[in-house]
Amino acid sequence: MTTEMTQETNTAPTGEPHQETGQAVTVVVPTIGRPSLAATLAAVGPGPEIVVVDDRPEEGREPLPVPGRVRLLRSGGRGPAAARNAGWRAATTPWVVFLDDDVVPGPGWVRALTDDLARLPGNVGGSQGRLEVPLPPGRRPTDAERNTAGLADADWITADMAYRRTALEATGGFDERFPGAYREDADLALRVERAGFALVKGERLTRHPMRDDGFWSSVRFQRGNASDALMRRVHGRDWRAAIGGHGGRLKRHALTTGMGLLALTLAAGGGRRLAAAAGLAWLGLSAEFAWARIAPGPRTPEEVARMAVTSLVIPPVACAHRIRGEVKARTGRRS
């Protein structure tokens, strides 16, 4: 059960439009305590009601430093889907806008949000803001930067996504079987559309700054393969097309991993020639994957080293997460 700690509720009457927003709206920001949260809240400003949902584990943590006007809830480290559900269920306004804790709404965002929502017909269940991802000037982007830049063209992501409360109620909100910040927003969008609501794109602009998530970030990202398994289970084989996505590299990762395992098995059994052939196939597939990531990038020594190492690790890790996801999806348990 979610434990609520209210720092200070917004002083506007519940359910009444705020003067600055026109439309009665609540901004919900789930967070794991990133320092970027302060910039997100400052950019929203004092207009709408803001609910921050602290999704850090309960034990051994300091209170989040949020402004007094912000309502603070706790969701106990159950993931962004559960945190967003806690946020919108605590709100009473007709619209709920979800922002990530690492984005910065642009100047005039509240007024632009008002304009985006003001004249939408009742069958429109959601409005997505435009997302700007600035790339570094003077050089080609790294693999991690290209992945982040892809968010600018993604549909219905909760970096800046407003939902009509009736649409959230009709679908039950976010599916908490999705454990991380991956695919839970696409799943909700498909279910909202299936419930008879339309989704549109607005004109408000939000900026998603780049951040350095470390050497192994691309390996950690492979956890999303478990969520892909759940998407397939819930929405069928054509779920990627339904969200405007494209096929990934999982089949190639499976082939690469298979060749590596075959080479090790044959070598252990004394079949050196066949082991060598399988090993060469593994090496060739791994080299192709690494070059596909290196070629469009800056090709600095640091980037080449990271791509070379992580390209060896990603295929088996991706396959392991997909298998885990398939098992979890079939048993109905949370990942």
Q: For 82-101, how does the pLDDT look when each residue is reduced to its tens digit (9 = 90+)? A: 999 999 999 999 999 999 99
Q: What is the pLDDT of residues 67-84, one digit of tens each?
A: 989 999 999 899 999 999
Query: Whole-angstrom Cα distance, residue 329 to residue 335?
Result: 8
Question: What is the pLDDT at residue 334?
Answer: 52
- At residue 63, the pLDDT reads 83
pLDDT of residue 247: 75
In the numeric block, which tokens belong to residue 231? 């998407």
How much is the pLDDT for 5?
35
How far apart (Å, rounded) are the C-alpha atoms in residues 286 and 308?
A: 9
Question: Which residues of the chain are under the pLDDT cut of 70?
Answer: 1-23, 59-60, 332-335
Q: Where are the alpha helices (DSSP H) in the chain?
A: 37-44, 80-90, 109-118, 143-149, 165-171, 184-194, 217-220, 224-235, 239-242, 250-268, 272-294, 301-331
Reference 31, options 109, 83, 68, 87; nearest CA is 83
